Structure 1
């Protein structure tokens, strides 16, 4: 079991380049891969997408790579096009302000250089790194990434396992309450029959209606299905691979049975067990959202 949430970073240096990698992911319904790569790494995006698709089944995954010369950060230069556009815009703004009787404070050169896009990385800073070197980096990065996701997945498995145990305990408690509830329901039905007899109602129709109510109030099927879902959940916890979608569906089934039990209960102790089940199942559903 792996978590859909993860992060890994990798730094590599050699005589020619300094390479900074990072990859991170959050939960998502499907697999969405976003890649940010510098110039001079032709063919790498295809390798990145293939490697991530093989390593990750679900999640919103973002990977970025920054490559700079080994001697330090890339030099900066003024972008002539951006500077011209900025100066033209400033001139137009000043003219419009003057037409409205306004005087604007002058901007310094430092102010202009601080505007977005005016300074850019020099074209001479592009560093060519052999594709096989980058692929080796990528393999190490994904290995660290999957290790972190597996560690978080192990923690999730422990939490989910404890929640399944609690669901089983509450289901067993519902079974123990079944006999007490049966005695309670028998008393309720007997009192109902007595009232009906006093009203001289049709005895045959009354018996039929009471039998129908007894069937509708029976929670045996819900208990049996809860037990079956517990078995299915434990089986999913043992699978070595993506199980998030199946577990999410299973939590919906758990919740359906707990809701039905509450609606049928008509017995405070059983209602309390049903509400406790719903609480645990809601907590489980939140955890399952992070399972790959």
Structure 2
């Protein structure tokens, strides 16, 4: 599910900003952007996120601004001297002004500015990072929960729609039983005509096979059971995205069987409408944690 969280604050000698963003995904994928020197904390920080979240592409960034640190400046003298020498040679060869030292100092890697940081300050930064990430996670969970309520309503609506199609299919099949019996009798007559020596037992077997092939009541009963299971999951409130996704696969399996068995145009139309509604529901379900 989608969501956003931001927490910020200030300590005695540094300030911070944690930002978390979440977008829909079927699995959990966490990416963090941390300040230089904090890479060793990435596993622990990801663990905090994984404990609270089970689905979604999560992107987190931590920004630190240190206000009271000293700085240690280092200049790469050997490389700088080589650059100056090359600059003078080029200047003499092409009769152009020699570049000044300021230009060389602006080249990346010539001057290195390193923040001076005590062990105590490093520990304080790590503690704050963990503590504030937990706040950001809680904020993100609330943000995702708001979207979850809307998704819940959408899924309930799809279940109601699917249940309506099941009722329509049941009504169609109940009115078609007479037609089915007539078809079976014609089939029996054709079998007797083709092979008058067929035994009653063989005829009964053929009738049973035809009845099973044409009857969709078993599929409709299973769909109704899956509807009840889905509603029960929605009432539980625990992470249910993967469970609902599995039920959608079962819904689709039964709908496909109904369409393949159907020899009635109205029932086929209901089956196709049923499949379309299931597909729409599954799109929503894949965004649920």
State TM-score, norm by structure 1.
Answer: 0.75
1:18 and 2:9 equivalent? no
Count how many residue pairs are aligned between Structure 1 and Structure 2: 265
Specify which of 88, 102, 114 is matched with residue 123 of structure 1.
114
User: Which digits, 9 at most, give the CA deviation of each residue in 1:95-140, with x for residues without a partner?
Assistant: xxxxxxxxxxxxxx9999999x669984238794623333332222
How many Å apart are 1:142 and its aligned residue? 1.0
Look up the match of 2:92.
none
Checking the alignment, whether the CA contact within 8 Å between 1:44 and 1:135 is kept in structure 2 is no
Unaligned runs of 5+ in 1: 92-108
The match for 2:250 is 253
Task: State how far apart, in whole Å, the 2-side matches of 1:182 and 1:119 are.
Answer: 88
Give the 5 Å matches for 1:1-292: 3=1, 5-14=2-11, 16-39=13-36, 44-45=41-42, 47-70=44-67, 122-124=113-115, 128=121, 130=124, 131-199=126-194, 201-202=196-197, 204=200, 205-292=202-289
Counterparts of 1:192 and 1:230, CA distance in 2? 36
Greater mean alpha carbon deviation, residues 193-202 or residues 249-258 = 193-202
Highest RCO, 1 vs 2 (Cα 8 Å, sep ≥ 6)? 1
Relative distance call for 1:119 and 1:165 in structure 2 (3 A) is farther
What is the CA-CA distance between 1:36 and the residue it aligns to? Answer: 2.6
TM-score by length of 2: 0.75
CA distance in 1, matches of 2:262, 2:110: 70
Shift of 1:49: 2.9
Work out which of the two has the higher radius of gyration on C-alpha atoms and give 1 or 2: 2
Pair 1:232–1:67, CA change in 2 (3 A): same
Say what the alpha-carbon RMSD is for the aligned residues.
3.8
